[in-house]
Amino acid sequence: MVDVKIVEVGPRDGLQNISQLVPTGTKVELIKRLSRTGLSKIEATSFVSPKWIPQLADGDMVLKAIQSLIASPQNNIGYPVLVPNVKGLEKAVQNGAREVAVFVSATESFSQKNINCSVAVSLVRVRLVTERARALGIKVRGYVSCIFEDPYEGLTDPEQVVTTTQTLLDAGCYEVSLGDTLGAGTPTDVGRLFTHLLRTVPASSIAAHFHDTYGQAIANVMKAYALGIRTFDSSVAGLGGCPFAKGAKGNLATEDLVYTLEKSGVSTGVDLDELVKIGTWISQELGIPNGSRAGSAIASK
Ligand code: HMG
Ligand code: MG
C-alpha cells in the first residue's frame, strides 16, 4: 500500500499540447517506460475529435500497441483514456480500453471552447457515457476543469465546482479529478475550495490535477494533502497544457511530485531515478526543455 496514488497524465494531457507531431512509436515507448516505474495509473491517450486535437488522432494505434500491457493479468496498471461523448467511448472500447475518463468544465466559456456545448449539455453527455461504460464493465473517472479560473470569463463560482463534481459522482464516476486548468490557484485557494467541497464529498473520491503555470502546483498538492486528498495527477517532465486554455503550462511534473512527497515521508511507490531518466529522454525526443525542476537537478548530478 502506498500513501498517495499518482495518475500519470503525460501521454494524454502532455502530448495533446505539443506543437510538433509526435510519432506513435514514441508515445507507445513513453507508456511502456512509464509502466516500469511503479505507477499504477497512466492516462494513455484520448478519443476526441481529431479535428480538435490532431496530436492524439492516433489513439487507436497507441491503445492497440499497448494491448498486451492492458490485458496482462500480471500488470496491475490502469490505462484510462479521455472520451468526450459516446462516440469516443465506443472507439475506446473497440480498441481495447478498460477504463475511460470523462470531462466537464465548472464554467460555461471553457465548456463552449473545449467541447462546443454548455455545461448542462456536457453533464447529460457524461451521464450517457458513464451509463454505457458501466454496463460494459468499463471504469469511469471524471474531471472538472477550471476549478479556480476560466481563461475567458475569470473567477469560477465554487458552487459550480461542487455541483459538477457531485453530478459526476452521482453518474457513477469512481473518482473526480479537480483541474486547475490554468494553473492559477494558490494554496489559499485550494484551502478555501477543498474545505468547502469536502463538507459534502468524501476526500477518497477526489483527486487533484494542478497545472504549474504560476509555479503553485507543488504547494497546492501539499495543501490538498493536508486536507486529506490522496490522489494527484501529474505529468512526466511537466509536459502538457490545454490548447483551449491559452497560456496554460504543463501539469505538475511527476518527478517534482514524487521528490516532494517521498522527502516528506509520504510513499508513492514510484521509482524516482527511473522517472528522471524517462523525463530526460522524452524531453530530448520532443526537443523541448525538461519542465521538471527536480528531474533536471537529479539528471545533472
Ligand atoms: P463538435 O464539432 O461539436 O462535434 O465537437 P460533432 O458531434 O458535431 O462532431 C464533429 C465531427 O467530429 C464529426 O466528424 C464527428 O464524427 C467527429 P465529421 O462528420 O465532421 O467528419 N467526432 C469524433 N471523432 C472522433 N472521436 C470522437 C468524436 N466525436 C465527434 N469522440 C467534440 C464536439 C466534443 C467532439 C469536440 O469538441 C472535441 O473533441 N473536443 C475535445 C477537446 C479536447 O480534447 N480538449 C482537451 C482535453 S480537456 C483538458 O485537457 C482538461 C483536463 O486535462 C483537466 C484540466 O486540466 O482541467 C481533462
Ligand atoms: Mg489538464
If you measure from the C-alpha of residue 117 to the centroid of ligand 1, how many angstroms do you get, rounded to a whole number?
Answer: 10
The question of ipTM being above 0.90 is answered as yes
Q: For residue 180, give the nearest of 251, 93, 256 by alpha carbon.
A: 251
User: Which ligand 1 atom lies nearest to the CA of residue 145?
Assistant: 57
- Please work out whether the CB of residue 47 comes within 6 Å of at least one atom of ligand 1: yes
What are the C-alpha distances in Å from 27 to residues 12, 57, 234?
A: 9, 12, 17
Predicted pLDDT of residue 246 = 76
Q: For residue 180, give the nearest of 140, 226, 224 by alpha carbon.
A: 224
- Please work out whether the CB of residue 156 comes within 6 Å of at least one atom of ligand 1: no
- Please work out whether the CB of residue 210 comes within 6 Å of at least one atom of ligand 1: no
242 φψ region: left (φ > 0), alpha (ψ -120 to 50), beta (else): beta
Render the burial of 287-297: b for 16+ CB within 10 Å, e for the rest.
ebebbbbbbbe
Q: How confident is the model at residue 84 (pLDDT cuts 50, 70, 90)?
A: very high
| 264 CB burial (10 A radius; 0-12, 13-18, 19+) | exposed
Q: Can you state the angle between helices 272-286 and 254-263, rounded to 10 degrees?
A: 160
User: Which ligand 1 atom lies nearest to the CA of residue 89?
Assistant: 31
Check: CB of residue 103 under 8 Å from CB of residue 82: yes
Write down the pTM of the prediction: 0.97
Active site residues: 242
2/51 Cα distance (integer angstroms): 40
Q: Which ligand is nearest to the CA of 93?
A: 1
| Residue count (the chain) | 301
The residue to which cell 472538472 is assigned: 144
- Please work out whether the CB of residue 16 comes within 6 Å of at least one atom of ligand 1: yes
Q: Which residues contact 131 (CB under 8 A, 6 or more apart)?
A: 171, 172
If you measure from the C-alpha of residue 270 to the centroid of ligand 2, how many angstroms do you get, rounded to a whole number?
Answer: 21
221/57 Cα distance (integer angstroms): 31
Which contiguous run of DSSP H or E holds residue 155? strand 154-155
Q: How confident is the model over 262-275, as pLDDT tens digits? A: 999 999 999 999 99
| 207 CB burial (10 A radius; 0-12, 13-18, 19+) | buried
If you measure from the C-alpha of residue 301 to the centroid of ligand 2, how many angstroms do you get, rounded to a whole number?
Answer: 30
- Please work out whether the CB of residue 103 comes within 6 Å of at least one atom of ligand 1: yes
Mean pLDDT computed over every residue of the chain? 96
What is the 3-state composition of the chain as percent helix, strand, coil, each rounded to the nearest 5?
A: 45, 15, 35
Q: How confident is the model at residue 44 (pLDDT cuts 50, 70, 90)?
A: very high
SS3 258: helix
Is the four-CA dihedral 103, 268, 96, 135 of positive or negative sign? negative
Q: Which ligand is nearest to the CA of 81?
A: 1
Q: The C-alpha cell of 284 is what?
A: 530530448
Nearest CA owner, ligand 1 atom 36: 115
- Percentage of the chain beyond pLDDT 90 is 93
Q: Which ligand is nearest to the CA of 239?
A: 2
Q: For residue 258, give the nearest of 239, 277, 273 by alpha carbon.
A: 273
Q: For residue 189, give the nearest of 153, 242, 148 by alpha carbon.
A: 148
- Please work out whether the CB of residue 94 comes within 6 Å of at least one atom of ligand 1: no
Q: How confident is the model over 232-246, as pLDDT tens digits? A: 999 999 998 677 777
Poorest-confidence range of 47-61, 232-246, 281-295? 232-246
User: Within a 13 Å sphere around the CA of 203, how many CA atoms are in the beta-carbon half?
Assistant: 14
Nearest CA owner, ligand 1 atom 20: 51
200: how many CB neighbours lie within 10 A of its CB?
9
Nearest CA owner, ligand 1 atom 35: 49
Q: The C-alpha cell of 12 is what?
A: 494524454
If you measure from the C-alpha of residue 157 to the centroid of ligand 1, how many angstroms do you get, rounded to a whole number?
Answer: 25
Neighbours of ion ligand 2 (CB under 5 A): 13
